[in-house]
Amino acid sequence: MKRNTTGKLFSGLLLLAVLSCNKAENSTTTPGANDSEPEQTPVTAPVEEATAAAAARVASPVPGYTVTYPYGIKNPRYAAGYHTGDDYAAPTGAKVVAVLGGTIVWSNNNGGAYGRWIGLRATNGRDYVYCHLSVRSVSTGTKVVAGQKIGEVGATGNVTGPHLHFEDRPKGGGYGQVRKPTW
Ligand SMILES: [Zn+2]
C-alpha cells in the first residue's frame, strides 16, 4: 500500500515534469518579436528620400565650379558699365546644367559677344542666360529639369578664355535687365 502510493506519486511528478518541460519549449518557440524587425526598414526610407530631395538643389550651373568673376563689378569694358552676370571659369567641355526646371526659350549661335547661348525660362519666372558655350545640348522649346545637362562650357563670342557667363533676368528681360544670379 505504501509502495503503491509512492509509485503513483512518482509517476505524478514525472507527468508534471514532462508538462512543465513542454510549457518551457512552447514559450521559447512562440513566434518571436524578431520576426517583425524587417518592418522597421520602411521607416528609414522617407528620411533617405527627404535627403535626396534636399540634395536636388543645384549648387552651380557648372557642377564642381564656383564663381571666378562676380556680378556687379564696375568695368567700362561692358556696355552696361558693370559685369552683368557671374562668370564660372572652367575647361571647355565642362558640363553646364539647368539650375531649375523650366523651358528653353532660345538656343542658338547668335549671341554676338555672348557666342553660342541658351535662355532658360525657369519655374520661378526668371530667365537664366548661359553664354559662350562650346556645345548646346537642347533646342528651343525643350523642357528640362533641375540639374539636367543643357550644354558645355566654351569660349565662343567675346572672351579671353573658356568660362560660363551666367545672367539672371526677369521674364523676357534684355541686356542689362539683370540681378545678382540666384535660384
Ligand atoms: Zn561674364
Ligand 1 centroid to 119 CA: how many Å?
Answer: 15
Does residue 107 contact residue 139 with C-beta atoms inside 8 Å?
yes
**Share in percent of the chain as helix, strand, coil (round to 5):** 30, 25, 45
The predicted pLDDT at position 170 comes to: 98
Q: For the chain, how far is it from start to end, CA to CA, in angstroms?
A: 101
Ligand 1 centroid to 153 CA: how many Å?
Answer: 13
Cα–Cα dist 12/170, whole Å: 95
Ligand 1 centroid to 87 CA: how many Å?
Answer: 5
Assigned superfamily of 60-183: Glucose Permease (Domain IIA) (2.70.70.10)
Instruction: Cell 509502495: give the residue.
Output: 3
Ligand 1 centroid to 123 CA: how many Å?
Answer: 24
Please state the domain extents for the chain. Answer: 2-55, 60-183
Ligand 1 centroid to 128 CA: how many Å?
Answer: 13
Ligand 1 centroid to 32 CA: how many Å?
Answer: 66
Average model confidence (pLDDT) across the chain: 82
168 pLDDT tier (thresholds 50, 70, 90):
very high
Cα–Cα dist 133/121, whole Å: 18
Ligand 1 centroid to 25 CA: how many Å?
Answer: 79
Tens digit of each residue's pLDDT (9 = 90 or more) over 84-133: 999 999 999 999 999 999 999 999 999 999 999 999 999 999 999 999 99
Tens digit of each residue's pLDDT (9 = 90 or more) over 43-66: 444 555 555 555 569 999 999 999
Ligand 1 centroid to 26 CA: how many Å?
Answer: 78
